[in-house]
Amino acid sequence: MKTLVVLAHPAPDSLCGALATAYADAAARTGAQVEVLRLGDLEFDALGDPRPLRGHAEPDVLRSQELIAWCDHLVLVFPTWWGTYPAVLKGWIDRVFEPGFAFEYLPSGLPKKLLKGRTARIVTTMGSPSWWYRLVYGSCGIKAIKAATLEFCGFGSVKTTLIPHARMAAGPKVESWRGTLGRLAATDAAGRSRRQVGGGAASRP
């Protein structure tokens, strides 16, 4: 299994950074090939119009596309800010998941999904309780990434993990969450193996 972990927090020493590292390390222990992208380290114009840049974008955009094309399983780790995800993740999605790479429109006007056969997990921290995020905000950030981005482009079995009350994170709690991410990495690897044995592309939820 080839796993790409994307840390979409500007600070690598953040809680999200610790969780991304825990997942990546645990995935590697299962025998997976693991690559980690830290969006805070990349250099690209988040406001750039991708249409005239197709095939000639910044090296970090092209590298991101290479890694997405390479991976079987994508893990996005980010904080929920103002009910949704950080600007660095939105800019990265806008530049990387471009037409011709992630999808294209057919003559009928319907989208052709170009990233089929991949699975994903979304991991997000938040200050609020998870029930509040679901009930009051309708899980808006999760819906935007899961349905309007990943599934739109062909990803199947997009699972989500919410880490609530993150602003109160301290030593033992952080270690507990790191352990949770390690177990999820093992579960995801096992699930992917079962799907491959069963016949190829990942099932859709």
- The answer for 154, left when phi > 0, alpha when psi is -120 to 50, beta otherwise, is left
- Joined together, the tokens standing for residue 119 give 């699975």
Report, as an integer, the average pLDDT of 85-106: 95
Mean pLDDT (whole number) for 96-122: 95
Which pLDDT tens digit goes with each residue over 123-152?
A: 999 998 999 999 998 999 999 999 999 999
**Per-residue pLDDT tens for 59-83?**
999 999 999 999 999 999 999 999 9
Interacting residues of 124 by C-beta distance below 8 A, sequence separation 6+ = 77, 78, 79, 80, 85, 141, 142, 160, 161, 162, 163
Please report the domains of the chain, with CATH numbers, ordered by start residue. Answer: 2-199 (3.40.50.360)
pLDDT over 80 (residue 200): no
pLDDT of residue 52: 55
Residue 51: the pLDDT is: 62
